[in-house]
Amino acid sequence: MFDTDETLAAAPPQLEPHDFEKLQEVLKSEGPLSAADWLCAKLESNQDYPALFYALLMKKRIELGISPFPAGPSSDIPREYHEAYEEAIRTAGRKVGELFLAKNDFPRAWTYFNMLGETQLIVDALEKYEPGPEENIQPLIEVALYHQVNIPRGFDLIVDRYGICNAITTYSGFDFSKNLPARQHCIQKLVRSLHAQLVERIRNDLETRGETVPAGASIPIMLEGREYLFEDGAYHIDTSHLNSIVEFSLHLENCPELNLASELALYGSRLSGSFQNQMDPPFENSYADYKVYLDILRGVDVEAGLKHFRDKIDPAFSEEFTLPAEIYVNLLLRLGRMDEARAIAKKYLSEVQGRQMACPGVYELCLQVKDFQGLSDAARSRADGVSFLAALASQ
C-alpha cells in the first residue's frame, strides 16, 4: 500500500556502544521482540523518530515471523500478512508524525501524515501554532502554503511576517483553481491589511495637520472635503499595492471585505491622474469603475451600476474585443440574473470561439438551463453542425 523509500530515511540511530551491548543482552535473554521493544523505547527517548519508524516496522515483521529488515521488498511479506503490515505502517506513521508535531517540526510531521493521506492533525496544529518573532517560518509556509495543507494559514504568515508586497507576489503566482475558498481568504486578508494600513496613515496625516479624527472614522469620512490630502501628487500607501489589491477584490464573494475594498477604490479615485492606470473598457476609468463594480456586489445602487457597465458594451464592441459584455454577463450571474445574462451573451458573445473569456460562454449558459433553442441558434452562427444537431436532438 505504501512505499517506504529513502526520502523517509534519516540519520542512523545515534546509539552509544553500550546500547548495542544492551541490545545483544536483551536479544539473548528475552528474545527478538523484547529487543525490538527496548530499541523502540531507546530511539523514542533519543528523539530519533525516523529510526523509530523503521524500528516499529521491524518489530511487526518479527511478530509476523518474516524477514526483519523493514526496508525489504514487499515480496518478503506473504499475502495473508499484507493487511496487518499495512496497518502497522499506518500506526507507526501516525506515532512518528505526532511526535514530530509535538516538537512543532511541521515539515517532518507532514512527511509521515502525507504518506498516510491523513493531514487534518497538521491542518489543526498549523492553525493554532504561533511562531516566535525570531523564528524561521519558512518551514511552516512550505507545509501550509506550498504543500497546500493549510493555504489560508500559510498566506497569513506571509502577510504578517513579510508584508503586503511579498503577499501580492505570492498570490499572483499561486494556482487557486482547486481551492477557491482559500483564494477568497487570501483576497480578504490582503484587503483588510491594506485597508488598516491606509486608515492608520490617513489618520496620522490628519493629526499631524492638527485635525481631530473621530475614533473608528471610515476612509470616506476622513477624505470628505479634504482634497488637499492629494495635492502635488500626494499618496499614503504604495499605489502599486493599491491597484493590485483592488483588482483582486473584484473576485470577492459576499463578505464584509467588499465594503473595505470599495473604500480602497474610492481612495484610489482621488489620486492624481498619474496614478490612474490606463485600462481597457469597461475599466478605462480605473478606480472609479472598480468602485461602481464593487458597489454593485455590495448591493449599493445596483441598477445605476448595471447601467454604467451596460452602456460601455456597444461603444467598445467588436468581434475581437468583447470584454465589456463579458464583464457585464459576469455581474448579472453574480446577482443571480441568469436570464438577463444569457440574453446578453446571445447578443454579443454567440460568435466568440477559440479564445478564453472572462465569463461562461453561450453554450455553457444555455446548457445550464436547458435552453436548447438558444444553443442551436448560437451553433448555427458559428457554423457548428455538431452542436447544432445535438441541441435540436435534445429539444
336 burial via Cβ count (<10 Å: 0-12, 13-18, 19+)? exposed
According to the model, what pLDDT value does residue 11 have? 56
d(CA 38, CA 296): 68
What is residue 164's three-state secondary structure?
helix
Domain boundary assignment for the chain: 6-150, 163-311, 314-395
Write out pLDDT tens, residues 103-132: 999 999 999 999 999 999 999 999 999 999
CA dist 363 → 201, 220, 265, 355, 360 (Å): 49, 43, 34, 14, 8
Residue 352: what pLDDT? Answer: 87
pLDDT, residue 384, reads 87
Give pLDDT < 70 ranges for the chain: 1-13
pLDDT for position 87: 96
Name which of 147, 136, 106 is nearest 124 in CA terms. 106
In this structure, are residues 324 and 316 in contact, taking their beta carbons and an 8 Å threshold? yes
Amino acid at 333: L
What's the pLDDT at 100?
96
Contact between 377 and 346 (Cβ < 8 Å): yes
* pLDDT at residue number 6: 38
pLDDT at 28: 97
| pLDDT the model gives residue 13 | 53
The total of other beta-carbon atoms located within 10 Å of residue 66's CB is: 15
**How many Cβ atoms are within 10 Å of 86's Cβ, its own excluded?**
13
Distance CA(391)–CA(395), nearest Å, equals 7
Give the three-class secondary structure for 194.
helix
- Cα–Cα distance between 395 and 378 in angstroms, integer? 15
